[in-house]
Chains A and B, each alone.
Chain A
């Protein structure tokens, strides 16, 4: 009947006990080794049930003896180990959280898709795959668009479908060239709407300098889809020798965003009309390949670029922290956010750092070249409000810290699923 199976609590706890026992046995082995005890002793502790149990009790007592700060650190280390375990899908069915771009999406990608398709080109899980074909380096990407409503202030699903795929190629360092377009249409969908969407796609493609060169259409019965879904794939060519990628970020680098964050996500939430909030706001959907080409031409020290879509800036910074094994420190009052977006986010109890953009670049750049990068971005109309929002550090690897505008510190973690509005 439900998604998780009747004994999910018991299973989670049993798994927890197994890991805890294994860790305690390992800790005991290390301790025995340090003390110069015989091999046999360490072996017993690891294998025998009774031995492992005793060892656990001993290490727990030892843990309790430390200062609160020490004990807290031990717990944090334990959580860190738990998070590095192989991801597993616990649900029996797909829930909306799996599509929200947070932890559940990540788990789905790694446990199902990466597990099945595993290969070195897929493994970095970047926005586009980099391929070597004959003598050229190509970038290949694909993305599917299911936005609701289909038309919203600042654009429609057609603009998104072209700009999103162009941007995924551009942030991989490629010059976008060709797109494919696949349509899933619901029976009864107005032809006028389809024509308008396709006209927007053509206009967006012209601006981005790409061509739609192949396509496909499927029609499904009324009720089997929500009007119109679009998939686009894109091919681009890489014409420089930079080795871009989140894993190349290193301490001393800075984090730059190309403009105010959260416009698209908040625009869509308001356009759904469920909230009775009105604001003068439109989607930021735009093709960033021109701006990115300018940046790469001016700044050799660009390490990584990402298109801040679903999951927002916060999700990208977490990916960088994990991929490169570095810490990220962000200053809240440096992040550009429009007043309308801040206001709506305050009312809804959500954080603009997690809200989707559709034309905002997050770039990790060598700290020495931060000013050059800012100048290059600000010279382009899409990057006029570019800002340095933080830096890469060696400390607290894997963690994104936020210096709040109030003057405190906190963690910025991946979201579990969609940001849920709080009730009070």
Chain B
């Protein structure tokens, strides 16, 4: 298949892996964080870690949109959805995210009208077809999905829709990265920068990581060769003593981002003073809400949202996993109390979550796999 297979070529991967291994200084360990959950998914889906020398460890970062949603926001959303004459629309990933009383799937089974959509614009169609109902879109995600929510609100305003609103949970990536960099119990050698987020915000916002913290950043694409190449670029920077922001994903990411998308976000939304992140706690200026002029589409203004706060279960170590301090399997409840069937922590929900990716794809002893390989005829 064109434009896909080229980026999954095993010969090129072997060649790149050899060059990465050559760059490893003897005795030195390297830790790189892939910020974005999409990268985590690619790494596990294609078994990319098999190509990396033991000296390099990948740490899975916080960039999984559903993984950072706190239980209280899910409870709020279910409260909104269960009001009379209400239809809630949501991306599929969100359906299994647990609140303190269960997930959207559970609420749906109990009679709440929650529908999966592929694009927020589909919610407008549903609103138009159901004029006697209120349609609330559960908006989640980083800068990748924020522009489409902003466009949807603009479209709704232009259409004069009166029964559509947004429960806005959009978050921004930079404050989360900063929180990780400021966390005392973490040691990273560099970052694989998020690809899709960067198509919107560009590469400049990462410059503080290189200049202020002395860590290299390479913005990467989502195919396995993209990620291998970005690891190679990080290793080159380290071996040459550089700390810069580089763009591996030039075929998609413009250095300055997408001005039209940024304008749409800025027109419709503004930063909240603070927002709660699952596992990371409250982070200032880390999320978006609708501006004053769009109150008519803001579910938090229109309806009585209880503002539930639910403390993360004590045994759940999502925060440490999100920060990369713990590997998924080092969490006390990993795979026993917390599984993809009954996730307690959000990292276990989405295939992009570090725990779910490891549980679904990586739950094996690689040393023994290598032995099987060797013993084969």
A residues apposed to B, CB below 8 Å: 1-6, 8-10, 12-13, 15-16, 19-20, 69, 71-73, 75-76, 78-79, 82, 90-91, 93-97, 103-104, 107, 274-275, 327, 329, 339, 342-343, 346, 349, 393, 395-396, 399, 401-411, 413, 416-417, 420-424
Contact = CB atoms under 8 A, between A and B. Distances in A.
Nearest to B11: A407
Contacts of B13: 406-407
A12 B362 CA distance: 24
Contacts of B175: none
B46 A406 contact: yes
A100 B40 CA distance: 25
**10 tightest CB-CB pairs across the interface, nearest first?**
A408-B47, A3-B106, A16-B337, A79-B335, A420-B92, A4-B102, A407-B10, A2-B102, A93-B109, A410-B361
Max chain A Cβ within 10 angstroms of own Cβ: one of B93, B109, B140, B141: B109
Given A2-B102, A408-B50, A422-B352, A78 B336 contact: yes
A342 B4 CA distance: 10
B51 A408 contact: yes
Interface in B111-164: 116, 118, 122, 140-142, 144-145
Contact of A404 (B38, B47, B336): B47
B118 A339 contact: no
Max chain A Cβ within 10 angstroms of own Cβ: one of B46, B96, B144: B46
A393 B372 contact: yes
A95 B108 contact: yes
A406 B91 CA distance: 29
A423 B364 contact: no
B185 interface: no
A275 B339 CA distance: 30
Given A2-B110, A82-B336, A396-B372, A423 B141 contact: yes
A78 B335 CA distance: 8
Interface stretch (B209-217, B277-285, B288-296, B340-348): B340-348
Contacts of B65: 423-424
Contacts of A416: 96, 340-341
Interface string B81-109: 01000000001111110111111011111
Contacts of A406: 8, 10, 13, 46-48, 224
B341 to A, nearest CB: 5
A410 B362 contact: yes
Interface string B178-221: 00000000000000000010000000000000000000000000
Interface string B350-365: 1110000001111111
Contacts, number: 202
19 contacts: A1-B82, A1-B110, A2-B102, A2-B106, A3-B110, A4-B106, A12-B338, A79-B336, A82-B339, A395-B371, A396-B364, A406-B8, A406-B47, A406-B48, A407-B50, A410-B361, A422-B93, A423-B91, A423-B93
Interface string B5-37: 000101001100000000000000000000000
Interface string B259-270: 000000000000
B60 to A, nearest CB: 15
A33 to B, nearest CB: 25
A274 B363 CA distance: 34
B313 interface: yes
Contacts of B105: 3, 95-97, 417
Given A91-B109, A103-B341, A395-B372, A411 B101 contact: no
Interface of B: 1, 4, 8, 10, 13-14, 38, 41, 44-51, 65, 78, 82, 91-96, 98-103, 105-110, 116, 118, 122, 140-142, 144-145, 196, 224, 313, 315, 329-330, 333-342, 344, 350-352, 359-369, 371-372
Contacts of B367: 69
A421 B92 contact: yes
B328 to A, nearest CB: 9
A401 B365 CA distance: 11
A95 B48 CA distance: 35
Contacts of A343: 1
Contact of B333 (A16, A103, A404, A420): A16
A20 B336 contact: yes
A407 B47 contact: yes
B364 A411 contact: yes
A137 to B, nearest CB: 37
Contacts of B340: 103, 416
A413 B351 CA distance: 12
A153 B41 CA distance: 33
A403 B372 CA distance: 12
Given A396-B364, A423-B91, A407 B14 contact: yes
Given A422-B41, A423-B94, 8 more contacts: A3-B107, A5-B102, A404-B47, A406-B47, A410-B361, A416-B340, A417-B105, A424-B196
Contacts of B8: 405-406
B126 to A, nearest CB: 11
A90 B38 CA distance: 30
Given A13-B344, A408-B48, A420-B95, A346 B4 contact: yes
A346 B344 CA distance: 29
B358 to A, nearest CB: 10
A212 B76 CA distance: 53
A306 B122 CA distance: 38
B329 A12 contact: no
Given A72-B329, A407-B13, A420 B96 contact: yes
Nearest to A91: B106
Contacts of A346: 1, 4
Contacts of B99: 2
A422 B350 contact: yes
Contacts of A274: 118, 122
A97 B41 CA distance: 22
Contact of B50 (A5, A327, A409): A409
B68 to A, nearest CB: 13
A393 B103 CA distance: 39
Contacts of B351: 349, 422
A4 B97 CA distance: 13
Given A93-B109, A95-B108, A343-B1, A409 B369 contact: yes
B117 to A, nearest CB: 9
A12 B78 CA distance: 21
A71 B367 CA distance: 13
Nearest to B94: A423
Nearest to A79: B335
A419 B4 CA distance: 21
B225 to A, nearest CB: 8
B47 A19 contact: no
B279 to A, nearest CB: 15
B16 to A, nearest CB: 11
Given A97-B105, A421-B92, A395 B368 contact: yes
A349 B351 CA distance: 10
Nearest to A329: B372
